[in-house]
Amino acid sequence: MKSVRVVVVGAGVIGFSTAVCIVEALPFCSVTLMADKFSPDTTSDGAAGILFAAQFPDIPLQRQRRWFKDSFDHLLAIAQSQCAPEAGVMLSSGYWQIFKEVPAVKKPFWSEFVIGFRLMTDVELKRFPDHKFGQAFTTLKCECSTYLPWLEKRFRKAGGQVEQRKVNNLQELSNSFDIIVNCSGLGSKVLVGDTQVYPVRDTKGILERCRRLEPSLNKAKILSEWVGLRPSRKNPRVEREVVEMQGRPVPVVHNYGHGGWGVTLAWGTALDTLGLVKQSLHEMAPQPKL
C-alpha cells in the first residue's frame, strides 16, 4: 500500500497520545498532528494528572476497564524507566477520594489496577470532619506540562510531523489527508457540530474545598493560578464514521470528550482509536479481483 496520509487534530494529551500510537504502529502512514495551540497553552497542561476515574453511564464497563488498565500500564512503565524525570511521570500515594456519605459502590471498577487500594480507617477519617468514607491507594501522577513536550519529542522521533494551524472545519483537510482523526476536545462543538460537548471549570471552588479539608492551607501563599475548560461530555466519543467530503468518502475517527479524565484514559482511548484507524485502512485497501 502507498503511504497513507493521516492527520490528528488536537495537541492535548488525547491528541498527542493518539498520534504517537498511530505513528509508531503504522510506519507506512504519514502522520501529521495539527493544532492552533500547543504546550504550554493547552487545557491538558493544567491537568492534575492523577490516575483514577469516574464511571461513564453508557459505555460498556469492560471497555472502560480496558481504557484505564492500558493507560495505567503505559504510564507505570514510564514511571519505572529512566525516562520518568523527563516525562514527568511518577508514583504517588495518598488519600485520593473522601466522601461525606458512603457511596453505593465502595470499590470502583479501577480499584484492582492501582496499587494497594484500601478503604480508609476510622482513625484516618477523623482528620476530615464531616466525611464518613475514603479510599487510599498508590497511583500515578503525570505532570502534563512536562509529559506533553516529551510525547511531542517521541512523536517527531518516530517520523511524525507537527503543524501549527487553526482548523475551522474538517472539510478543509480532505484534499490533503486520507484519514482524519479528531481529538479536538471542545473544538468538536464547532468542527463536527457536537452539541453534547460542554466546558467545565472551577478554581475558586477547588481552593475553598481544599482549605476546608486542610486548614493549614488558609494562610498559604498562592504562587500562580491557572484555569482551563475541560472538554466534558456525558460519554467520551471514541468511534469511527465515513463522511462525504469533496465528493469522496473520508474516514473520520473521533476521540474526545473525556472531561476531567483525559490523562487517566488517554493511552487507552488512543489504542482504541488506533484500532479504528486500522479498520479504515483495511477498508481502503484495494480488494483482489476474482
Amino acid at 138: T
The answer, yes or no, to whether residue 204 has pLDDT greater than 90, is no
Would you place residue 38 in the very low, low, confident or very high pLDDT band (cuts 50, 70, 90)?
A: confident
Enumerate the known binding-site residues for D-dopa.
230, 260
How many angstroms separate the CA atoms of 56 and 264, rounded?
13
- Judge contact between 113 and 64, C-beta under 8 A: no
Q: Is the peptide bond before 40 cis (omega within 30 degrees of 0)?
A: yes
Per-residue DSSP letter, 191: H
The pLDDT, as a whole number, for residue 226 is 41
Q: Which amino acid is at 3?
A: S
**Which residue ranges form the domains of the chain, and what is each CATH number?**
1-48+150-199+227-289 (3.40.50.720), 50-142 (no CATH)
Yes or no: say if 230 and 43 are a contact pair by the CB < 8 Å rule. yes
More confident residue, 207 or 16: 16
- Of 259, 266, 267, 276, the residue nearest 55 (C-alpha): 259
- From the number of C-beta atoms within 10 Å of its C-beta (0-12, 13-18, 19+), residue 92 rates as middle
- The pLDDT tens digits for 140-163 are 999 999 999 999 999 999 999 999
Q: Residue 263: is its pLDDT beyond 90?
A: yes
More confident residue, 79 or 203: 79
The phi-psi region of residue 97 (left if phi > 0; otherwise alpha if psi is between -120 and 50; otherwise beta) is beta
The share of the chain scoring above pLDDT 70, in percent, equals 83
**Residue 201's pLDDT is what?**
56
Residue 270 in this model has a pLDDT that exceeds 90: yes
Query: What are the binding residues?
Result: 43-44, 167, 230, 259-264
* 69 closest CA partner among 267, 274, 261, 258: 267
- Confidence class for position 210, pLDDT limits 50, 70, 90: low
The CA R_g of the chain, rounded to the nearest whole Å, is 20
Give me the pLDDT at residue 214, please.
65
What single letter denotes the amino acid at residue 277? V
Per-residue pLDDT at 103: 95
The pLDDT confidence band at residue 289, using thresholds 50, 70 and 90, is low
Rounded Cα–Cα distance for residues 235 and 60 (Å): 11
User: Which residues belong to the annotated binding site for FAD?
Assistant: 43-44, 167, 259-264
Residue 156: the pLDDT is 97
Please say if the pLDDT value at position 76 is more than 80: yes
Confidence grade of residue 213 (pLDDT, cut at 50, 70, 90): low
